[in-house]
Amino acid sequence: MGTTNATRRAGVALLSALTLLALPVVGGQVAGTSATAAAAGPGAAQRPNPGSWQGGWAASPQAPTEAFTPNWSQQGFADQTVRQVVRVSTGGTRARIELSNRYGGTPLRITGATVARTDNGASVEKGSVRQLTFGGHHSTTVPAGSDATSDAVPFRTRALESLTVTLYLAGPTGPATFHMMSSSTSYRARGDHRADRGGAAFTETSESWYYLTGVEVSGGGIPPRNGVVAFGDSITDGVGSTPDTDNRYPDELAERFAAAGRPRSVVNQGIGGNQVTNDTDWFGEKGVVRFEKDVLGEPGVGTVIVLEGINDIGASAAGGVGAPTPEVSVAQLIAGHRSLIRQAHARGIRVIGATLTPIKGSFYDSPVNEAKRDAVNAWIRTSGAYDDVVDLDRAVSDPADRDSIAPAYDSGDHLHPGDAGYRAMAEALDLRTL
C-alpha cells in the first residue's frame, strides 16, 4: 500500500546471535541434496524430521516495474553482483535458497551464488563465504516462468540472525523478477564479487530484493508443518517500518516465538499495494491467484494469517494510486476471502483472519470506503469462516476514535503503522492459536 523512507514519502502519500556456523566444504565441493523435496502433507507424522524443510525467510516475487520506487528491475543486470541481506526466523543444520524467474521473459543464467554470515552492510564475516550449487553445479539456468532451489549447504543456523546471499550475473538478464518494497538495503557491484568478504565494491544500493524469494532450513529437530505464513499487502510487507531493522509485524512475531524459547518458521508473503480480487500493474497478481504459489508452495506451513483487502476497497476508480482497478463490493471481497480459506483448508492449513486496520485521515479515507471496511471487519469477526480471528483493527486503533490509527502507532500517513504499531500487531496474536 505504500513505501518507506524519506526518499519515497511522496509515493506513500500517493499510494497509501542467525549465527551461521559454516561447516567444512568436503573436497572443495559443497555437500548438497536434491532441491525438490516437497512440504510434508497433512497426513505426515507429527514428529521432528531431520530431513524436513521450513521457511526461514521469504519474499513474494513481482513483475519488473519502475513504479514510484527506484529499483533495478526493468534494466536487469549484466556482469554485476547483487548482495542481499535477510534475517531468518528459525534455524537448523542445513540451508538452501530459492530463486525466482517467475516474471522473466527469457531464461535466467545464475553464474554463481554464495551464502555467508552477515557482518556489516555489504561485508560478511571472515571465513564464512560458501559457494552454493544447483544439482551439483555452481551455475544454473532458470527457465522463464520458473523457480530454482539450490542444493543444501551445511550451515548450523540460529533464529533471528542475518544471512547474506550473493548472486553473480555475468550475462544480460533482461528485466528482473523482484520484490519491490523490501524495507532492506540490497547492494550491487560491477563484475564478479560473490566471494568478497568486504563490501567496498558494492557501491550501489536499492531497497528491493532481486530473484531471491526464499531461504529454507532443515535439521535441528524442526517439527513438520508448524510454519506460519503472513499473507497480505503493504501492512504485512512492513511499509512504514524503519529500513534495515526487521520491524515488520511478521519479524516481531518471530521474535516473540524466539523469546518464548520456541523459535518458529514465520515468513512474510506480503506485497505492498496487493489486492485480493484484482491484478495490478505495480503490485502483483491478485491474492486469490498468488496464494497457491506464495503460501501453499511454502515448505512446512501449518498456519496462514490473512490481512488483505484495504486496497480492494481504496484503489478503485473512486481513488487510489496508479491505474485504477475495478470497484470491489463487500460481497466480492468476502468471496475472495472465502476462496483463500478454501484453498488453505484443501491443504490442511489453518487460517487466521485479521481485521482491516484504520484508514481515517489517509488517502483512502471516505465514507464509502469506511463503510466497506466496517462491513468486511464485521464479517471477519462474526462469520466463523476463519479458524480464528486476530483483531488488528482494535490492536492499533485509537481508543478515543476507533476509525483512526493511534498516534503512537502511526507511521505518519494515517494508514501504515510504524515500528511500535507493528509490534502491537504482533503482540495481538495469541501464540497458542498458532
Per-residue pLDDT, averaged over 197-202, amounts to 98
Domain ranges across the chain:
6-14+224-433, 53-220
The answer to whether 169 and 156 are in contact (CB under 8 A) is no
Helix 419-428 × helix 249-259 angle, to 10°: 50
Confidence category of residue 322, pLDDT binned at 50, 70, 90: low
Q: What percent of the chain clears pLDDT 70, i.e. is strictly above it?
A: 87
Mean pLDDT across the chain: 88
* Percent helix, percent strand, percent coil in the chain, to nearest 5: 20, 25, 50
Question: Does 53-220 carry CATH code 2.60.120?
Answer: yes
* pLDDT tens per residue, range 359-393: 999 999 999 999 999 999 999 999 999 999 999 99
Cα-based distances in Å from 292 to 62, 65, 122, 134, 351:
15, 23, 34, 25, 14
* pLDDT tens per residue, range 233-255: 999 999 999 999 999 999 999 99
- Cell digits for 413? 500517513
Q: Name the pTM for this structure.
A: 0.88
pLDDT above 60: residue 317: no
Q: Is 43 left (phi over 0), alpha (psi -120 to 50) or beta?
A: alpha
Per the model's pLDDT, the better-predicted residue between 408 and 28 turns out to be 408
pLDDT value, residue 48: 46
CA distance 220 to 54: 11
Fold of the domain built from segment(s) 6-14+224-433: Rossmann fold (3.40.50)
Per the model's pLDDT, the better-predicted residue between 45 and 352 turns out to be 352
pLDDT value, residue 417: 98
Per-residue pLDDT, averaged over 303-323, amounts to 82
* pLDDT tens per residue, range 109-153: 999 999 999 999 999 999 999 999 999 999 999 999 999 999 999
Q: How far is CA 177 from the centre of its chain?
A: 14
Q: Can 6-14+224-433 and 53-220 be said to share one CATH topology? A: no
pLDDT value, residue 318: 46
Confidence category of residue 49, pLDDT binned at 50, 70, 90: low
CA distance 280 to 46: 39
Per the model's pLDDT, the better-predicted residue between 111 and 70 turns out to be 111
Cα-based distances in Å from 101 to 60, 94, 108, 173, 291:
12, 24, 7, 10, 17
